[in-house]
Structure 1
């Protein structure tokens, strides 16, 4: 059995609608996903970021594009559908990635976004683990 496309999901809330807060949140989310999944950015098929309508200070993809070896990764930003009463100031991501057989993927739901998928919320991971 050869490699296959898998999906890694994640989300994080942002403290405020500012470039600095969005940059910090996207960096934290991508750091967590990369730490837990140990992939080569060359294996990424594409990444879609969705943001709630209250976040418009910068594009999350602009942060991702600055990461080492991410300059050729296809990135897309979209506005997440608004549902009354839904989580505010939230950035979600969907990474489609080529993986070897039997590779386990680890999703990352951080900060206030843990309420979206408590079953997939990440416990803190040590950089030394």
Structure 2
């Protein structure tokens, strides 16, 4: 019996040190490397990617930075601005990747890096114990 294909999503987030192209490139590259390595992504199976950034990050489009990476040039990427909520995490970049997979949901790795670890501490701790 062949495995059943499903559309699933990878969530993740990170923070940039400041509002500069260099800081955003460093944070996004680190996040994408973590997603790619831990989920063994086949780029042909990626449907689309949505990035959000908090309003205090306007030095670059996260999707443009991701598109610089190998294999991402032909993937549909979209940037949105994260809602401004009083007291929320600053300089935050989030990602949502839709892809086709045979993996069950509990085998998908959702990285929350840097100060964004505080957004989902339950995932950060549970996922490290699996690897």
TM-score in terms of structure 2 length: 0.90
Aligned to 1:12: 14
Distance 1:69 1:83, change over 3 A: same
Aligned to 1:64: 66
Aligned to 2:56: 54
Tell me how far apart the structure 2 counterparts of residues 17 and 56 of structure 1 sit (CA, whole Å).
7
Work out the number of aligned pairs and report it. Answer: 126
Tell me how far apart the structure 2 counterparts of residues 27 and 15 of structure 1 sit (CA, whole Å).
13
Tell me how far apart the structure 1 counterparts of residues 46 and 67 of structure 2 sit (CA, whole Å).
13
Displacement of 1:101: 4.6
Structure 2 residue runs without a partner (length 5+): none
Structure number having the greater helix percentage = 2
Runs of 4+ in 1 over 6 A off after TM superposition: none
